Chain A
């Protein structure tokens, strides 16, 4: 099961990166900046891709 998960979604770093992106997005959605959430998630994910590409 662990192997299947890793095959599909990568290692723990990927999961943590997506979890952090979602937490930032949720915080944005619950703040006065909620309309900007559509920009927050893509920017976070691109930053995550930049980080993961170097690992």
Chain B
């Protein structure tokens, strides 16, 4: 359960940092009151989505089907994050830069229109939050700790909000790529474990396999970063 909560917390932290950049840019245009109102509306929508998502998933009576479905979803999500983190770590893609993102947002002409800016804050929080929603629902439902998973996501929100309130600037120093790399490896581990178990495979080490899988994906990912960075550096 600790690993699951940590994965939820880290996923949420990365996404809330990106959402905070948007809220900050909007707040400087239309004021904190309206920007926070838009964020609150998006969070309410995400809470409703969480309730609906968990309701739909818990309607699946066959636990193996549920496990397979969640496992495959996590493989898709985890693979995307790990591949992206490897590409960014090796320099094949530019790192996500919150300061540059903030600058680009501040330069948007529609940010000076109250209604358009409110929508930018709402859509931004909703889009970033969708990935949090997905992780909370899949990991929460599969482990039977949905409330704890939701609390971990809210705790991440509180931490990011506190950092934002203290700094009043984009949280550019958060090591987003390292976190995405670790979360991608963790989600692939959960996905691999549950998918194969749902297909009838019995893991020789039981739950301890998750640690071995995490080590495999993390070390494999690091090896790929070194390989691609080396290939890129060669003339």
Q: Does A33 contact B (CB under 8 A)?
A: no
CA distance A18 to B90 in the complex (A): 22
Q: Mark A35-55, 1 if CB is under 8 A from B, else 0.
A: 001100110011011101110
Which of A15, A22, A53 has the most CB atoms of chain B within a 10 A radius of its CB? A53
Q: Which of B40-48, B75-83, B159-167 contacts A (4 or more CB under 8 A)?
A: B75-83
Binding site for A on B (CB under 8 A): 72-73, 75-77, 79-80, 82-84, 86-87, 90, 92, 127, 130-131, 134, 188, 192, 195-196, 199-201, 203-204, 209, 213, 216-217, 220-221, 224, 228
CA distance A25 to B83 in the complex (A): 20
Given contacts A41-B196, A45-B192, contact A52 B79 (CB under 8 A): yes
CA distance A22 to B201 in the complex (A): 13
Least Cβ–Cβ distance between A25 and chain B, in angstroms: 7
Given contacts A22-B195, A53-B86, contact A15 B201 (CB under 8 A): no
Q: Is the CB of B76 within 8 A of A15?
A: yes
Q: Per a CB cutoff under 8 Å, which of A18, A37, A38 touches B72?
A: A18
- Pairs A-B, 9 closest by C-beta atoms: A52-B83, A9-B76, A10-B80, A53-B86, A53-B87, A46-B220, A49-B83, A53-B83, A49-B82
Q: Does A8 contact B (CB under 8 A)?
A: yes
Instruction: Report 17 cross-chain contacts, Cβ distance below 8 Å, ordered by A residue.
Output: A7-B127, A9-B73, A9-B76, A15-B76, A22-B72, A29-B199, A45-B188, A46-B216, A46-B220, A46-B221, A49-B79, A49-B221, A49-B224, A52-B87, A53-B84, A53-B87, A54-B92
Q: Is the CB of A37 within 8 A of B87?
A: no
Q: Per a CB cutoff under 8 Å, which of A4, A14, A38 touches B79?
A: A14
CB-defined contacts of A24 to chain B, threshold 8 Å = none
Q: Is the CB of B130 within 8 A of A7?
A: yes
CB-defined contacts of B196 to chain A, threshold 8 Å = 25, 37-38, 41
Q: Per a CB cutoff under 8 Å, which of A18, A37, A54 touches B75?
A: A18
Least Cβ–Cβ distance between B232 and chain A, in angstroms: 10
CB-defined contacts of B73 to chain A, threshold 8 Å = 8-9
CA distance A29 to B195 in the complex (A): 12
CA distance A4 to B224 in the complex (A): 29
Least Cβ–Cβ distance between B202 and chain A, in angstroms: 9
Q: Per a CB cutoff under 8 Å, which of B83, B84, B131, B221 touches A7?
A: B131
Least Cβ–Cβ distance between A32 and chain B, in angstroms: 15
